[in-house]
């Protein structure tokens, strides 16, 4: 496969032709915040809007997960326009998130925390109204707990369960602010065709899906996987 | 897809055409009066079906045998139900505001007798010495009917009417042209997509024609979901074959095999008429295998959408057609190269497609002779709100807003003052008086902070609060947002929260800054056009009507007296008539009582601000008023 060379944050890097800027950056040790994309998903969902970068010659910041690299491209992941959009997006997510880190099993491995640190954003945002939804927690599964209040709707679990595993327990429902990840017919997970494999938990970047057995081996696998996926 | 035998197309059509023409002639010149009733959704809502029944009953009673035809919408929706009578010896006369009683009189006095009932006349369709014709109306100077030409003048359920009025001749002509020639013609006409964004149609066709992959598809976008808009519905209900003809020509030009008409299920009459039109076209071999004996085969299916606004966005629409949730997908690739089932797909708006036949038939030059430098042809608007003549309007691009609202629309209802015009629906903006002389085209409206959108035009007067209007539209987009991306799902919700507070008098002046920068971020950061344009109603009202926002925040005052929490109802003692009790009984919460002098007083604690007392107070007293802020109410003695 042909390689293409480009500059990201002043660093000359190489990547495969056709690659998206996001992966080119991550593969070369340059972190760009991202939540909604997985490498093996060929169509970026481009939903979280955290991965904005600036590209020389383009008037507006673009999402790194949808922008295809080009020979000689000059990318700036720290441009003021890109950071402004990423920070607003993150703060919007945090304003509708409980931010109850002290009691959350995912604290420490949570990507929201990581992105907030990267962008220099406080977890308790002041710019927005706190808009929570008070949804019911589903602990029916023998393996994991689903707390939709902590979900950022990145869609990773939906994609993994449906496309990677071909099971399709989880999906999106409702529109606008009411949008949620849920089972078909909104029933408890234990009553769905869930096979308890826990891959969705591994994929979840926040504390929305957590293993019941917190000390178990699976949990540490979770952390490892998250780290390799996002910082590679 | 070359036409191998040009000769075969013409004779096949000649037969169809002469049969249609003789049927039309029989109707028009059959020596009998012809009665046409406007029975599109707008007419039906006003009672057209009752009028139709009254006409038929009366004809039967009088033992009269004359054809009664259901036609579509003429555009004069303010005067529905509308009945047109063409009686030999008279010009075709159009009657407005008809009810069953008037309908009976028209039959007994005009059809049976010879009194054309001038008191009910709206106008004549032709110039004559008896009644003023529509062409004498001042508005006629500004209107130019191209794609609305047939609407209200033919029976949309009879393909013969369409053919006799020149229908499908463009298809026959197109089938004798090379596909590239057709695309060139559409390109040089300057036609831009009428779905809102104004993308050059010919260019889209060319990209789709040159794209690899088979089969190719054509989609007609009839999702039309903006509040106040009904242009596409009216066209599908009044002249469905014009849309079909455009689709078939497009299919031939780009080499497509299949087409879909995407109509929202809430438009049952449009669905019914489009379906019927498909069956008729198929029967005449204007659709289907080897159209009119040519090498070209094309089929169209109708798909009923679930009625989500976001499904009008092309990638969401395609997902919905594929049976997936109607959520926008990432572009590029664009549908023109990778659309339905991953195949090249041309997606055009109803009005875009119904313009095609005129371009092919009359030529690109003719089409381009109307309009402005960069926006050619006509613009169709659904004129609604506080304007006198609500309805469908078609004017050349470049007509000013003032001409549309005041000359065509006859100005503001009830002699009130114009305040703003909302154009482009939830994606558009509100333009003030100072923008009225703006020539309408795609670019001028965008520059002014509004948008052509698909053609909704809502006129607002002094009683409309601009903050509330912005809040209303944002509530709509927030509800209709698919919820996929962060800015649109959560950003518009935050904005809505703030607007809610402002309309309730709980806003802070810093909130205005927050609204502006968040709006900019939502526009720059959203995934699809819905989010990218959602802040427009807020931004445009904040830039043109900032004083109203400030009055709400700083003084707790709603200048238009519309925001319920910021007004109070008050009975002016000097105006209240001692002997009158009209308001007392109408108040549902018994908040009104009479004092010792028999002057009525509203208990502000009990009042729920429903406003019935204001309506109940007889006009000769006019004692009930709205005050804002509520502290304006004098303390009771
Ligand atoms: C939220 C949203 C809603 C839309 N709704 C419609 C619609 O109801 N009808 C329509 O023709 N185009 C609509 N569009 C535009 C379509 O995506 C597309 O641009 C259009 O159908 C192309 O046709 P045209 O080139 O003939 O305008 C919408 C776009 C967005 C972003
Ligand atoms: S902008 Fe709104 S409608 Fe469009 S993808 Fe994002 S959430 Fe959905
Ligand atoms: S990772 Fe690019 S938008 Fe979510």
Per-residue pLDDT reduced to its tens digit, B589-631: 999 999 999 999 999 999 999 999 999 999 999 999 999 999 9
CATH 3.10.20.740 domain extents, chain A: 3-92
Cis amide prior to B69 (ω within 30 degrees)? no
Considering only CB atoms, B481 lies closest to which of A46, A95, A176, namely A176
pLDDT in tens, B268-302: 999 999 999 999 999 999 999 999 989 999 999 99
Say if residues A150 and A201 touch (Cβ distance below 8 Å).
Answer: no
Lowest mean pLDDT segment, chosen from A221-230, B379-388, B487-496: A221-230
What span, in angstroms and rounded, lies between the C-alpha atoms of B216 and B343?
6
Say if residues A199 and A161 touch (Cβ distance below 8 Å).
Answer: yes
Q: Which fold has domain B378-464?
A: Ubiquitin-like (UB roll) (3.10.20)
Per DSSP bridges, beta strands B345-349 and B217-222 are parallel
Query: Class of the B31-136 domain?
Result: alpha beta
Ligand 3 site-directed mutation target among A20, A25, A51, most atoms within 8 Å of CB? A51
Say if residues B425 and B453 touch (Cβ distance below 8 Å).
Answer: yes
Whole-number pLDDT of residue A227: 42
Give me the mean pLDDT over the B320-325 stretch: 91
Q: Which fold has domain A132-231?
A: Alpha-Beta Plaits (3.30.70)
Sequence-separated (6 or more) residues with CB below 8 Å from residue B307: B225, B264, B265, B266
Helix-strand-coil split of chain A, %, nearest 5: 35, 15, 50
pLDDT in tens, B230-246: 899 999 999 999 999 99
Give me the mean pLDDT over the B140-166 stretch: 93
Residue matched to tokens 């008539």: B577
* Among the four given CATH numbers 1.20.1440.230, 3.60.150.10, 2.60.40.740, 3.40.50.300, the one describing domain B467-554: 1.20.1440.230
Cis amide prior to B629 (ω within 30 degrees)? yes
Q: Which residues of B touch A129 (CB under 8 A)?
A: 494, 497-498
Residue B470 has pLDDT above 50, yes or no: yes
Whole-number pLDDT of residue A218: 44
Helix-strand-coil split of chain B, %, nearest 5: 45, 15, 40
Residue B194 CA to ligand 1 centre (angstroms): 8
Query: Class of the B159-368 domain?
Result: alpha beta
Whole-number pLDDT of residue A222: 47
pLDDT in tens, B183-214: 999 999 999 999 988 999 999 999 999 999 99
Whole-number pLDDT of residue A50: 97
Ligand 3 site-directed mutation target among A41, A43, A44, A92, most atoms within 8 Å of CB? A44
Q: What is the mean pLDDT of chain B?
A: 92
* CATH topology agreement for domains B31-136 and B159-368: no
Whole-number pLDDT of residue B84: 94
What span, in angstroms and rounded, lies between the C-alpha atoms of B351 and B333?
25
Say if residues B524 and B491 touch (Cβ distance below 8 Å).
Answer: no
**Residue ranges of the alpha helices (H) in B66-178?**
100-105, 159-164, 169-175
Q: Does A93 touch chain B (CB under 8 A)?
A: yes
Say if residues B635 and B601 touch (Cβ distance below 8 Å).
Answer: no
State the Rg of chain A over Cα. 18
**Closest approach atom of ligand 1 to CA B199:** 25
Residue B1 has pLDDT above 80, yes or no: no
Categorize the per-residue pLDDT at A221 as very low, low, confident or very high, splitting at 50, 70 and 90. very low
Whole-number pLDDT of residue A184: 86
Give me the mean pLDDT over the B485-501 stretch: 96
Residue B473 has pLDDT above 70, yes or no: yes
* Among the four given CATH numbers 3.10.20.740, 3.30.365.10, 3.40.630.10, 3.40.50.150, the one describing domain A3-92: 3.10.20.740
Per-residue tokens: A176: 């606008």
Site residues for ligand 3, CB cut-off 6 Å? A 34-37, 46-51, 63, 65
Considering chain B, what percentage of its residues have pLDDT values greater than 70? 98
Residue B506 CA to ligand 2 centre (angstroms): 29
- Which residues, numbered 8 to 67 in chain A, qualify as contacts with chain B under a Cβ-Cβ cut-off of 8 Å? 43-50, 52, 60-61, 66
Ligand nearest to the CA of A229: 3
Whole-number pLDDT of residue B523: 96
Whole-number pLDDT of residue B410: 92
Site residues for ligand 1, CB cut-off 6 Å? B 193-197, 199, 221, 223-225, 309-310, 312-314, 347-349, 352, 454, 528-530
**Closest approach atom of ligand 1 to CA B328:** 31
What span, in angstroms and rounded, lies between the C-alpha atoms of B422 and B38?
28
- Rounded to 10 degrees, the C-alpha dihedral B582/B585/B590/B594 comes to 50
Whole-number pLDDT of residue B455: 83
Whole-number pLDDT of residue A225: 44
Residue A142 has pLDDT above 50, yes or no: yes
**Closest approach atom of ligand 3 to CA A46:** 3
Q: What SS3 class is residue A140?
A: coil
Q: How many CB atoms lie within 10 A of CB B197?
A: 18
Considering only CB atoms, A175 lies closest to which of B330, B480, B497, namely B480
Closest C-alpha among B462, B460, B475 to residue B385: B460
B487/A153 Cβ within 8 A? no
pTM above 0.95, yes or no: no
Q: Does A217 touch chain B (CB under 8 A)?
A: no
Whole-number pLDDT of residue B396: 95
Cβ pairs A/B, distance under 8 A: 93
What span, in angstroms and rounded, lies between the C-alpha atoms of A85 and A80?
9
Whole-number pLDDT of residue A223: 46
Say if residues B349 and B193 touch (Cβ distance below 8 Å).
Answer: yes
What span, in angstroms and rounded, lies between the C-alpha atoms of B505 and B503?
5
Q: Which residues of B touch A176 (CB under 8 A)?
A: 478-483, 489, 493
Ligand nearest to the CA of B482: 2
Positive or negative: CA dihedral B86, B91, B92, B94: negative
Closest C-alpha among B408, B394, B400, B486 to residue B435: B400
Give the residues across from A144 on adjacent strands.
A211
Considering only CB atoms, B330 lies closest to which of A44, A129, A175, namely A44
Residue-range domain boundaries for chain B: 31-136, 159-368, 378-464, 467-554, 567-632
């Amino acid at each position: 496969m042909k390689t293409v060379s480009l500059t990201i944050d002043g660093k000359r890097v190489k990547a495969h032709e056709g690659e998206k800027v996001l992966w080119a950056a991550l593969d070369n040790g340059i972190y760009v915040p991202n939540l909604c994309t997985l490498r093996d998903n060929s169509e970026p969902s481009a939903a979280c809007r955290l991965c904005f970068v600036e590209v020389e010659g383009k008037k507006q910041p673009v999402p790194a997960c949808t922008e295809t690299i080009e020979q000689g491209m000059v990318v700036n992941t720290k441009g003021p326009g890109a950071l402004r959009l990423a920070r607003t997006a993150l703060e919007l997510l945090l304003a509708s998130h409980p931010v109850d880190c002290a009691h959350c099993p995912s604290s420490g491995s949570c990507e929201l925390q990581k992105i907030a640190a990267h962008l220099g954003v406080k977890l308790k945002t002041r710019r927005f109204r706190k808009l929570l939804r008070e949804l019911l927690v589903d602990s029916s599964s023998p393996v994991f707990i689903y707390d939709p209040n902590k979900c950022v709707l990145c869609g990773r679990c939906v994609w993994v369960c449906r496309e990677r595993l071909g099971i399709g327990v989880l999906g999106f429902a409702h529109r606008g602010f009411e949008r949620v990840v849920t089972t078909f017919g909104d029933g408890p997970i234990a009553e769905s065709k869930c096979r308890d494999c826990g891959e969705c938990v591994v994929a979840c970047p926040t504390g929305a899906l957590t293993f019941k057995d917190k000390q178990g081996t699976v949990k540490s696998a979770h952390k490892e996987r998250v780290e390799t996926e996002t910082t590679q | 897809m070359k036409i191998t035998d040009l000769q075969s197309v013409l004779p096949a059509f000649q037969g169809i055409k002469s049969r249609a023409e003789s049927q039309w002639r029989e109707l028009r010149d059959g020596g009998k009066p012809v009665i046409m009733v406007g029975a599109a959704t707008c007419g039906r809502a006003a009672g057209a079906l009752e009028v139709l029944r009254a006409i038929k009953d009366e004809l039967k009673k009088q033992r009269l045998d004359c054809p009664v035809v259901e036609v579509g919408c003429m555009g004069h929706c303010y005067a529905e139900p509308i009945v047109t009578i063409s009686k030999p010896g008279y010009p075709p006369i159009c009657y407005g505001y008809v009810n069953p009683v008037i309908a009976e009189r028209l039959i007994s006095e005009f059809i049976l007798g010879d009194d054309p009932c001038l008191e009910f006349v709206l106008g004549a369709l032709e110039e004559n010495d008896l009644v003023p014709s529509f062409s004498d109306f001042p508005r006629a100077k500004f209107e130019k009917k191209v794609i609305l030409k047939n609407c209200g003048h033919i029976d949309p359920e009879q393909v013969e009417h369409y053919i006799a009025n020149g229908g499908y001749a463009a298809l026959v002509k197109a089938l004798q042209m090379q596909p590239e020639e057709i695309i060139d013609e559409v390109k040089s006409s300057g036609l831009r997509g009428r779905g809102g964004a104004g993308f050059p149609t010919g260019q889209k066709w060319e990209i789709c024609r040159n794209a690899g992959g088979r089969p190719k598809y054509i989609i007609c976008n009839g999702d039309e979901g903006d509040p106040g808009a009904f242009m596409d519905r009216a066209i599908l209900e009044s002249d469905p074959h014009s849309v079909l003809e455009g689709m078939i020509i497009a299919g031939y030009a780009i080499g497509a095999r299949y087409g879909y008409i995407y109509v929202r299920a809430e438009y049952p009459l449009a669905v019914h008429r489009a379906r019927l039109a498909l069956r008729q076209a198929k029967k005449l071999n204007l659709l289907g295998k080897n159209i009119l004996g040519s090498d070209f085969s094309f089929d169209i299916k109708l798909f009923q959408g679930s009625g989500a606004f976001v499904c009008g966005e092309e990638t969401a629409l395609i997902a919905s057609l594929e049976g997936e949730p109607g959520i926008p997908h990432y572009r590029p690739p664009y549908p023109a190269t990778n659309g339905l089932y991953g195949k090249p797909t041309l997606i055009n708006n109803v009005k875009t497609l119904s313009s095609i036949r005129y371009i092919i038939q009359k030529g690109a030059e003719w089409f381009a002779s109307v309009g402005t430098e960069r926006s050619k042809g006509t613009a169709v608007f659904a004129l609604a709100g506080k304007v006198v003549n609500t309805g469908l309007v078609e004017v050349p691009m470049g007509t000013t807003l003032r001409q549309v609202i005041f000359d065509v629309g006859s100005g503001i209802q009830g002699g009130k003052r114009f305040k703003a015009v909302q154009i482009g629906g939830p994606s558009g903006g509100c333009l003030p008086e100072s923008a009225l002389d703006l020539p309408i085209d795609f670019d001028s409206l965008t520059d002014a902070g509004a948008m052509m959108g698909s053609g909704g035009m809502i006129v607002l007067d002094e009683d409309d609060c601009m903050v509330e209007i912005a809040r209303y539209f944002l509530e709509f987009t927030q509800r209709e947002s698919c919820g996929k991306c962060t800015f649109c799902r959560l950003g518009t919700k935050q904005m809505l929260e703030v607007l809610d507070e402002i309309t309730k008098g709980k806003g802070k002046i810093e909130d205005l800054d927050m609204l502006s920068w968040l709006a900019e971020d939502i526009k720059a950061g959203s995934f699809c056009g819905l989010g990218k344009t959602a802040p427009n109603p807020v931004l445009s009202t904040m830039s043109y009507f900032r004083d109203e926002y400030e009055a709400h925040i700083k003084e707790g005052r709603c200048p238009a007296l519309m925001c319920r929490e910021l007004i109070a109802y008050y009975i002016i003692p000097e105006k209240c008539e001692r002997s009158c009790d009209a308001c007392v009984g109408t108040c549902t919460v018994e908040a009104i009582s009479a004092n010792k002098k028999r002057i009525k007083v509203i208990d502000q604690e009990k009042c729920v601000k429903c406003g019935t007392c204001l309506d109940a107070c007889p006009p000769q007293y006019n004692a009930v008023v709205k005050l804002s802020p509520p502290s304006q109410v004098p303390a009771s003695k």
